[in-house]
Amino acid sequence: MSAPDGGAALSRPTKASEINPRGSLLVALKGLGPYLWPADRADLRARVMWGLLLLVLAKVATMATPFIFKWATDAVAETEGARIGTDAISLIIAAPAALALAYGLSRIVMAGLTQWRDGLFAKVAVHAVRRLALETFEHMHALSLRFHLERKTGGLTRILERSREGIETIVRMLVLHLAPTILEFAMVIGVLLWVFDWRYALASVLMIGGYTLFTFMMTEWRMGIRAAMNESDTDANAKAVDSLLNYETVKYFGAEKWEAQRYDRSMARFERATVHTHTSLAWLNLGQAVIFTIGLTAVMVLCVFDIRAGRQSVGSFVMVNAMMIQLYQPLNFLGMIYREIKQSLIDIEAMFTILSRSPEIEDRPRAPALQLSGGTVRFEDVRFSYDPDREILKGISFEVPAGKTVAIVGPSGAGKSTISRLLFRFYDVAGGRITIDGQDLREVSQESLRAAIGMVPQDTVLFNDTLGYNIRYGRHGASDAEVAAAAELAQIDGFVRRTPKGYETEVGERGLKLSGGEKQRVAIARTILKAPTILLLDEATSALDSHTEREIQDALDRVSRGRTTLVIAHRLSTVVGADEIIVLEHGVIRERGTHAELMLRHGLYHSMWERQREAERARQTLRAADDDDENGAGASDAAA
């Protein structure tokens, strides 16, 4: 598979679900290792090696800076105490000036090497985030329909957004900050032992240990606060998205204030948790500053006593001060590293929970592609239930011969739409089997199965993109001419010509800028473009008015001609021409036959037909009365 931007394919030596968010940093680092050291990218591995070399060089320059500072200070002190001629003084002054320049140069080199390292590693880190994000996205699409029906879109997208940011933070903190910090700690302790003595090193070790322990304990306490803040944030975002997606419903019922109150209650919880988070952070920062200051003061006092005893120079005092101040930055990073990684692990915990969830429907190992020889669909004693305590389909058997049309009708709750979901293998049957040309759906790959079936659903949800994009979704490589031909067959080309932007017209969120009939025509057009062997129409016209229904039905009749077609219908008038009609009730087949045969039996189908005819006559009578009232009102106005 090609990368979305046309780059190299992204291989996966490991699964992101192997990174245990509840485990240690070593476990996380082990899981992230294959992403940071990709086996298929020698260029990225070279960047890692160069980055490590630059890291060492930058820390050497960091350690050299306090030494130069010491030498410069001692040179200046010697110059001030000199009592010699002007020429000699000039020579002595030249040494401190050169050392000052060397001090500035060392800081520039240190900063330059650090930024060079960060720039080199940026591509490695972003590539790792990209691979993990792609794996998560693909896993989300691999999960079952049941999973997505149980989730709120707003909450799920917020979890994914925070998780992606959390992964990036972990990668950045572990590689760009943790490794340099550990190296700098070791080098500082070594320098203190070499230049000074064990007392300085011990004071620094005690300070680092106390600082680290306090930071870890405070951060652990703050994790519960962070989790509560995230939960309230997710809840508020889910409510906002849900409300905005149902904008029209909110307006129909004048529920703006109610929705605002629901959202504000969630935001109030978020406000309290956020304030608590900032307050606890202030206490953390104060404690860190106190511990560091105690350590800094201790080594400086030791140095003062050593200067008075003649064991150290004034430059040593400046050096130890500079080194400790310099140590504060990685110490501060240590607290931030632990805090950010722990917070990021909380942020990505929900994502890893999703990643660890196995898809309900999976292909069998080396599952072959579906081989079509005509497209005959057969249900053989199929049983299914969403809930073990309530069986939906109770051993139904029927066949849709190749090139024929079979309709499934019945009252609400009979199990009609369940049949379409089983045919697409969104779920697996609990008993019996479903075959296409004799091949059990569970034995073939899902990709090949769904490529063979075209779907026109009752509720067509379009992408927030152009008309052309939504039609071309049926076959992404289709040319403009093929898209236009499909639109013409679906009878939407006239609408397209009337729009100023044609196929570049935006359809809005979920296609809300289009009418129900226009959306159905787009669904038909992209199904035509897909050119499937088997066609599934799941109550494709039930939500439309009678006039639009007739137009859509004409288009559907043309699409289904010569294809194996399974029609799930609510309006019986749309299935009169089916080769066979199956009447489903409470998960069992009650009747089957052609329209004429079923009408002659005066059974369930006949009663459903008569009820729908009576309802249609009542609607026509009501419309006629409304027209008469409008005509009468118009005549009165004219007379007036």
List C-alpha distances in Å: 281 to 225, 274, 295, 334, 347: 11, 11, 21, 15, 18
Do 307 and 410 reside in the same domain of the chain? Answer: no
> How deeply is 286 buried, as exposed, middle or buried, from its count of CB atoms within 10 A (0-12, 13-18, 19+)?
exposed
Give every CB contact of residue 355 below 8 A, 6+ residues apart in sequence: 15, 16, 17, 135, 136, 139
User: What is the 3-class SS of 37-57, one letter each residue?
Assistant: CCCCCHHHHHHHHHHHHHHHH
Q: Is residue 31 one of the residues assigned to a domain?
A: yes
Do 33 and 99 reside in the same domain of the chain? Answer: yes
Do 425 and 569 reside in the same domain of the chain? Answer: yes
Q: Is residue 516 one of the residues assigned to a domain?
A: no
pLDDT at 383 over 90: yes
Do 246 and 294 reside in the same domain of the chain? Answer: yes
Q: pLDDT value at position 83?
A: 43
Domain that holds residue 433: 377-452+532-615
pLDDT, tens digit, for every residue of 112-136? 887 887 777 777 878 877 887 777 7
Q: Is residue 150 one of the residues assigned to a domain?
A: yes
Is residue 114 within 8 A of residue 53, CB to CB? The reply is no
Do 57 and 122 reside in the same domain of the chain? Answer: yes
Q: Which residue has the tokens 């089983």?
A: 422
Q: Is residue 459 one of the residues assigned to a domain?
A: no
Do 268 and 135 reside in the same domain of the chain? Answer: yes
pLDDT, tens digit, for every residue of 354-378? 777 777 788 888 899 999 988 999 9
| DSSP H/E element including 588 | strand 588-593
Which has more confidence, 72 or 122?
122
pLDDT at 437 over 90: yes
**Which pair of structure tokens corresponds to residue 540?**
């494709």
pLDDT, tens digit, for every residue of 615-633? 777 766 766 665 555 555 5
Do 313 and 411 reside in the same domain of the chain? Answer: no
Do 391 and 444 reside in the same domain of the chain? Answer: yes
Give the confidence band of 97 by pLDDT, cuts at 50, 70, 90. Answer: low
Q: Is residue 2 one of the residues assigned to a domain?
A: no
The CATH number of the domain holding residue 147 is 1.20.1560.10
In a 3-state reduction of DSSP, which class is residue 431? strand
Q: pLDDT value at position 127?
A: 82
Most confident of 70-79, 171-180, 328-337, 596-605: 596-605
pLDDT, tens digit, for every residue of 22-54? 444 565 566 667 777 777 788 888 887 887 788
Q: Is residue 7 one of the residues assigned to a domain?
A: no
Pairing state of beta strands 393-400 and 439-440? unpaired
Which has more confidence, 416 or 79?
416
Using alpha carbons, select from 383, 378, 384, 328 the residue that is nearest to residue 62.
Answer: 328
Number of folded domains in the chain? Answer: 2
Q: Is residue 8 one of the residues assigned to a domain?
A: no
Do 387 and 349 reside in the same domain of the chain? Answer: no
Q: pLDDT value at position 629?
A: 57
Do 422 and 298 reside in the same domain of the chain? Answer: no
The CATH number of the domain holding residue 427 is 3.40.50.300
Last residue of a domain, one of 287, 320, 355: 355
Q: Is residue 88 one of the residues assigned to a domain?
A: yes
Do 404 and 327 reside in the same domain of the chain? Answer: no
Q: Which amino acid is at 374?
A: G
Do 85 and 197 reside in the same domain of the chain? Answer: yes
Give the confidence band of 435 by pLDDT, cuts at 50, 70, 90. Answer: very high
CA 167 – CA 148 distance, rounded (Å): 23
Handedness of CA 45, 48, 49, 50 (dihedral sign): positive
pLDDT at 381 over 90: yes
In a 3-state reduction of DSSP, which class is residue 322? helix
pLDDT at 81 over 60: no
Helices 198-245/256-308 angle, 10° precision: 170
**Which pair of structure tokens corresponds to residue 410?**
């019945």
